[in-house]
Structure 1
Amino acid sequence: MSYPLIFAGVTFSWPDGSPVLDGTDAVFTAGRTGLIGDNGAGKSTVLRLITGELVPTSGTITRAGDVAHLPQQLTLESGMTVAELLGIREKLDALAAIESGDPDPRHFTAVGDDWDVAARARALLDATGLTSVGLDREVGTLSGGEAVLTALIGIRLADTPLTVLDEPTNNLDREARARLRDLVAGWRGTLIVVSHDVELLELMDSTVELRDRQLTVYGGPYSLYREQLAREQAAAERAVRAAEQTLRVEKRQRVEAETKLARRRSYAKTDYLNKRKPKIIMNQRKTEAQVSAGKLREDLGRAVESAEQNLREQEARVRKEAHIRIDLPDPDVPAGRRLLEWVDDRGTAHVMQGPERVALTGRNGVGKTRLLETLHDGGESLPRLVAHTGRIGYLPQRLDHLDDDLDVFGCVRQAVPGADPQQVRANLARFLFTGDDIGRRVGDLSGGERFRVALARLLLADPPHQVLLLDEPTNNLDLNSIDAVVSALGNYHGGLVVVSHDDAFLERLGVDVRLEVGVDKRISRR
């Protein structure tokens, strides 16, 4: 049986020595595969190895054909046409030349067997909901979601054997995400997708995890991977308990054996002093006893060492995933406290009372971010959304509000200047910053670590915020970091307004109300 992609003993390290893969073996099967792993683990690097942009330090990667790549950030010339983005401009020009009567063989070579490429491109654009996107339209007039979908359709048209997508749903609105998932669901060929979008990962035929510089293949979509992982971890924890019991038994047997040897030495010494047997016999027995005792100690020592080694191996199989657990300050938001008020598209006023959770949705570009910014900045009498408290915290999409030159401790201390330094350190530990971590420069943190700093500043503020505004908080976060956000917000007892296109995340937050902002800026309740 042939496979579209095989990693055989692949090692890759950056020039500075930072390792990404260490002798990993993995077989990717045909169909759709989700590639998951923590931020910074090297998922994008693995994709670049698959495309051939990077070369392994050692080992081999075998591909069953050409590879197409959709990167996280599309770099496009605004003046290029949709046909160019689709990769069919040359064929369309050749077809036009042939239809005009030009018999140059170059045109026929350019077209090949793809005489219906224009019709196929139009059909795919229409099926994806891009009915208004013409082949001669300039890419600069497309939305971000339309550009991503068009680029993906171009890969589909090329019918490349192997395709890799790097976080394709990042920054896409709900409608664009749904269309992209439809494209993925009907994909022909082998597709490898890096994503933290659970709904997209549920479309996968298999899941590959990058962890500890190894690629591990699991059958099935993300939910099945989670089930398999849970079973593995339960078995690993049982194995740890069994290994601990074995170690206790071996140590007890060694103590018991040493006790017996001590007693024998005591009896032998008494016999020697009382001269109960001839001296030559007692000396011989003493030598034999010493040899026997030495062998017994050696055997028992090996048994204990073996039990200790087995325990270390079993403990290494158990994942120690840290989660944010913290008792947050009380924001003093009783159930009847009016926090926000909005007017829906029918002119009806609605009120956020107490610790409600509101999702603010709508297509990209309708002004959701601007609305949150105005709320946070105390904008006067917003036409559709009004705040009734000044204690509002805001977590923007981009975390450039953090001072990169401060260390973690100093950055969080800014939000709680009157707090006891030891209490700040204790709280930082609950946000997974311990030891030397709190002295690290904010500018040197990974995206997930930077997000945790911003979250700590927001949730530990003094006085506590009565309303939190979160703008696309899961963008660019790995699945474990999203778990940390859900965990932290689970202990927050104020009002929450979240802009997000991630329905799975909103469901986990326990959203009470969903509001949609239309292109006319009107707010409707969904």
Structure 2
Amino acid sequence: MLILQNLSYIHPNKDVLFDKLNVTFNRQQKIALIGNNGIGKSTLLKIMAGTLAPATGLVKTEHTPYYIPQLFGQFNDYSIAQALCIEDKLNALKAIENGEVSEANLNALDDDWTIEERCQEALTHWNLEDLDLTQSMGNLSGGQKTKVFLAGISIHQPEIILLDEPSNHLDTQGRRILYDFIQTTNSTLVVVSHDRKLLNLLDAVYELSKRGITVYGGNYDFYAEQKRIESAALDQDIQSKEKALRKAKEVARETLERQQKLDARGRKKQEKAGMPTIVMKTLKNNAEKSSARIKDIHAEKTGGITQELTELRKALPDIDKMKFGFDASALHKGKILIDAKNINFGYGQKMLWAEPLNVLLASGERVAIRGLNGSGKTTLIKIILGEIEPLVGSIQRAATKAVYIDQDYSLIDNRLSVYEQAQKFNTSALQEHDIKIRLSRFLFGKDDWDKSGSALSGGEKMRLMLCCLTIGNQAPDLIILDEPTNNLDIQNIEILTAAINDYQGTLLVISHDAYFLEQVGVVQGIDLR
């Protein structure tokens, strides 16, 4: 069991990240911890792991959690054995086998005589049998580093496991092994992930927000359905409040008009009756005060409703605030964009693909490029874009407008401000206020317009890129996405998904996120071996 009591964390600049969290994770429970980027999910995992101290509160547990971080750069100077905290045991075992049966070595080994065998079995299970435990972590790929720490689970056999984006750098095969582990393990799991296929394997969703942690007693699909119900109720509340505001304004107008008519009739009667001027002025002042009071009463009422409506609209999901409006591609559906016959590429004498590729891509299609890490997916993209030519075979490319979107959103120039970046795509000569309206639609308010591209998060870069594409005079004929969901939270993945579904052109995707591929309607695939 893992218990969080009155847990708070405050940034060095005194900003409160979360405050007085009280949560219990029961034995063998499998929990998804989700929330928007920057809300504090990774920070909370670090506190639970004991690598970061909270501002207030306690973490209670009988077992030391095994923690797999999202980033591994801090381990680059470590060997694999050092990163997994098993170097002392392995050295002690080796020394004992060489006859150095000292008390220090026996204490270091701690009766773990199978440590070496478990290491080899674990590395083999994760397809890392070619690695040596003395190798440097800095020489490994992102996927290999993730697998090393996942292999550490079998080595250490922990009761509690904390995983921060464990599928981020894994290929399809690696994800399959991870999913199988999650389904079969008896350990307590707390998982931060945007991989919705993975999230559907977990028992419950704990959503971290500014309000604290809200528990949803089911997997991600159950959570998403509950959020849809909440969103529909919110929409209904907004519509009801908008109707009430219109009615209140109408009543205020009618009441004021009625009062003004009564005042006008009263003045005419007073003039006919020949009342003294001083009396007329007094009655006029009284009438004006009465009208002012009526105005104030109704202004207070409409103001209250307006404030309530503003608060309700703030609660809307960001995706519901955005407007995509992509222009259609100029190409007719079915036009052949790429016709590659028997192509291959290589370095030196060795060809990249075991068999030459044949690729036929028509306008309007949605196609995935599939293959393990190192199978040449990015190379194929470069060939399709004309950045490199195949060493063998032939390729014909139609004159198309193609946009390549990688996982770092390199289309965004970090040297430019948000507004300057949008202006760079302004091929249709939109006025300044029109560009700023478009930016506002993509959640970039006036405080963001001068913000540098280098200061944007992955989700912000993605939203700015989508905004820039809508500012362009015409949508691209071909959009190529290279692992587009890797650095996004669930909210921003949903924004990207909605935008891609609004796009009518051709889509080519490299992604190991099966859920995303399904959501954007990718049904065909190019398999690389």
Tell me which residue corresponds to 1:288: none
- Whole-angstrom CA distance in 2 between matches of 1:38 and 1:360: 29
The structure-2 alpha-carbon separation of the partners of 1:77 and 1:408, relative to structure 1 and needing over 3 Å to count, comes to closer
**Residue correspondence of structure 1 range 78-477 to structure 2 within 5 A:** 81-135=79-133, 139=137, 142-212=140-210, 214-235=212-233, 315=312, 319-323=316-320, 324-343=322-341, 349-376=358-385, 378-380=387-389, 383=392, 386-421=396-431, 422-477=433-488
Q: d(CA) in 2 for partners of 1:348 and 1:316?
A: 51
Distance across 2 between alignment mates of 1:394 and 1:407? 21
Q: Residue 242 of structure 2 contacts residue 309 of structure 2 at CA under 8 Å; is this kept in 1?
A: no
Aligned AA (2:440)? A
Partner SS for 2:39: coil
Q: Aligned match of 1:29 in 26, 31, 43?
A: 26
Work out whether residues 375 and 386 of structure 1, in 8 Å CA contact, stay in contact via their aligned partners in 2: no
Give the total of aligned pairs: 478
1:207 maps to a residue whose letter is V
Change (3 A) 1:211 1:332: same
Q: Are the equivalent residues in 2 in contact too, given 1:92–1:118 (CA < 8 A)?
A: yes
TM-score (norm. length: structure 2): 0.78
Deviation at 1:317, TM superposition (A): 9.8
In the aligned structure 1, how far is the partner of 2:359 from the partner of 2:376? 20
Is the 1:6–1:26 contact (alpha carbons within 8 Å) kept by the matching residues of 2? yes
Is the CA contact (8 Å cut-off) linking 1:233 and 1:317 kept in structure 2?
no
Identity across matched positions, percent: 31
* Contact 1:5-1:61 at 8 Å conserved across structures: yes
| C-alpha distance after superposition, 1:374-409 (max 9, x if no partner) | 543544457576532242111122234533342222
Task: Tell me if the contact between 2:326 and 2:470 (Cα under 8 Å) persists in the aligned partners.
Answer: yes
Cα offset, 1:64, TM superposition: 3.4
Q: Which residue of 1 aligns with 2:497?
A: 486
Q: CA RMSD in A?
A: 3.9
1:73-113 Cα deviation digits (max 9, x unpaired)? 21366685544444333223322333333331222212223
Partners of 1:426 and 1:191 lie apart in 2 by 44
Q: 2:3 maps to which residue?
A: 5
CA contact under 8 A between 1:428 and 1:456: conserved in structure 2?
Answer: yes
The residue type paired with residue 322 of structure 1 is: I
- Classify 1:161/1:401 alpha carbon distance in 2 versus 1 (closer, same or farther; 3 Å): same
State the alpha-carbon separation in 2 of the partners of residues 79 and 14 from structure 1. Answer: 28
Question: In the alignment, residue 363 of structure 2 is paired with which amino acid?
Answer: G
Per-residue CA deviation, residues 218-245 of structure 1 (Å, 9 max, x unaligned), is: 2222112222333344455566778889
Q: Secondary structure at the match of 2:444?
A: coil
- Relative distance call for 1:24 and 1:457 in structure 2 (3 A) is same
Matched AA of 1:477: L
Deviation per CA, 1:28-47, whole angstroms, max 9, x where unpaired?
Answer: 23322111111122221222
Letter of the 2:514 counterpart: D
| Structure 2 alignment gaps of length 5 or more | 254-293, 343-353
Task: Report whether the alignment pairs 1:509 with 2:520.
Answer: yes
Residue pair 2:370, 2:526 contacting (<8 A) in 1 also: yes
Letter in 1 for 2:179: R
- How many angstroms does 1:448 deviate by? 0.8
The answer to which of 379-388 and 406-415 deviates more is 379-388
Find the aligned partners of 2:33 and 2:17 in 1 and give their Cα distance: 14
Is the 1:11–1:22 Cα contact (8 Å) retained in structure 2? yes
What is the TM-score when the length of structure 1 is the normalising length?
0.78
Task: Give the match for residue 271 of structure 1.
Answer: none
Contact 1:322–1:432 (8 Å) recurs in 2? no
* Aligned AA (2:51): E
Counterpart among 9, 13, 16 of residue 16 in structure 1:
13
Conserved? CA contact 1:326–1:488, under 8 Å: yes
**Residue 507 of structure 2 aligns to which amino acid in structure 1?**
L
